[in-house]
Structure 1
């Protein structure tokens, strides 16, 4: 699909590394100018340099702060004239049994994983309405649909992300804004390494019918499809890119 989206603009959260950086790179390859949104100035700057500053612009944003998110999207729209796609990829993860979950960890997961998706949609909405439509892709998880040891908070957040995707598709579809989601397979990323060790990744590899872990490029390919004209009649869908777990 490379080159199909000339002059279009995509915003990707959590774009400094891992899956987010892979999605940003793929969308730039597809012809988008990509706004890379991340709280880490170093990693998001490096990711933008890798893509090339002619195709990518880094934005250092704390997604927990609603007004900062909305102001950033306004800045993106002013700078580039439009916002065609938003990819809500950012997440902060803490594994803990339900009876041991602490308030700070749960609040952080809800804020970065769910509330920020509200703020990015609100931020992109004026530009998308002005241009006649757009696309939102939310990153869900296999944990949204099945129990995983120690994953109570994360599972709850990702279940809510799936529900938000269906609801937003219902509300925004009539206005030309498609909203879909992706359930990604396990990807060995620096962020995930905080909570998953070698043994955990081996378990995840064996769970895949394809006998391997997913790559950031696998997930990015799914996003590329959902934001493309090929998916023009796809709305309210959660796409599994998980090796048939």
Structure 2
């Protein structure tokens, strides 16, 4: 198994793309550290992985809380793979955006990945290997009304990918970004509704939404040694969406 003897920490991994990423990495042999705010959902994800013979554990953490973030880094220990998937998703026109949700998005989407990386990268550097994967959004490159804050935080995360690649890759630690296109997570399906889902599907060249598993497979690919010569890259998994 290609991730045998590796430890992977995936933020926001109690469901959706993060949960599927945990599943595929565990199936590939990694010991997976699940983290999120919902202990019940975390336990469900861990149980699903263990039922298939995988190895997983859950560490509860609110990534907007720096104390919780430091505790997560300590409890996770040395990791080989770090996936920054968790995010806060404010949705408001700029003229209506409140300061509280603005600050919450910056804390969860930029500050948390920054300081979690700062805490965990030294062990990767000392080992001479590691893979850090940031999960972004099409909104970081395509203007979308109502998503100014979310898009800006993800654009910042993409910029961090390039900076971290320049800092860490000479020591053997690769850093890349995955940009999912419209994906049929439970949250998207519930918020968009049937007609909204059809409209989203029509924005892709394939005429459908991605499944969370399809995005997870791209993340797995970047985590594996199959991509050991790829760093500082932004990989679009959007069925051509950035092109149209």
Q: Same fold (TM over 0.5)?
A: yes
Equivalents in 1 of 2:118, 2:38: separation in Å?
23
SS at structure 2 position matched to 1:93: coil
What SS does structure 2 have at the residue aligned with 1:52? helix
- Correspondence 1:108 to 2:118: no
Task: Look up the SS of the partner of 2:214 in the other structure.
Answer: helix
Larger deviation: 16-25 or 123-132? 123-132
Gaps of 5+ in 1: none
Distance 1:198 1:114, change over 3 A: farther
8 Å contact kept, 2:59–2:75: no
Partners in 2 of 1:195 and 1:91 — Cα distance?
A: 16
Alignment of 1:110-125 (within 5 A): 110-125=106-121
Q: How far is the alpha carbon of 1:191 from its aligned partner?
A: 3.4
In 2, distance between residues paired with 1:177 and 1:22?
24
User: How is 1:206-225 mapped onto 2 (pairs within 5 angstroms)?
Assistant: 206-225=202-221
In the alignment, structure 1 residue 170 sits paired with structure 2 residue 166 = yes
CA RMSD of aligned residues (A): 1.5
1:158 matched to 2:157: no
Greater shift in the superposed pair: 163-172 or 118-127: 118-127
Q: Distance in 1 between matches of 2:145 and 2:190?
A: 16
Match of 2:29 among 31, 43, 61: 31
Q: 1:200, 1:84 → 2: CA distance?
A: 39
- SS for the counterpart of 1:6 is coil
Which shifted more, 117-126 or 28-37?
117-126
Deviates more, 1:189-198 or 1:161-170: 189-198
Give the paired residue count: 239
Does the 8 Å contact 1:21/1:47 carry over to 2?
Answer: yes
Deviation at 1:195, TM superposition (A): 4.8
Contact kept? 2:189, 2:197, Cα under 8 Å: no
Tell me how far apart the structure 2 counterparts of residues 197 and 237 of structure 1 sit (CA, whole Å).
Answer: 33
Residue 41 (structure 1) aligns with: 39
| Cα deviation, residue 196, structure 1 | 3.4
Q: Which residue number corresponds to residue 4 of structure 1?
A: 2
In the TM superposition, residue 127 of structure 1 has moved relative to its aligned partner by 2.1
1:75 paired to 2:75: yes
Deviations 1:195-229 (Å, cap 9, x if unpaired)?
53433322210011111101111111111110111
Which of 6, 14, 30 is residue 12 of structure 2 equivalent to? 14
Deviates most, 68-77 or 114-123? 68-77
| 1:59 match: secondary structure | strand
1 CA distance for matches of 2:114 and 2:181? 24
Tell me if the contact between 1:69 and 1:123 (Cα under 8 Å) persists in the aligned partners: no
Residues 172-191 of structure 1 deviation map (CA, whole Å, 9 limit, x = unaligned) = 11122111000001112233
* TM-score scaled by length of structure 1: 0.93
Q: Distance in 2 between matches of 1:212 and 1:194?
A: 16
Taking structure 2 as the reference length, the TM-score comes to: 0.93
Contact 2:9–2:33 (8 Å) recurs in 1? yes
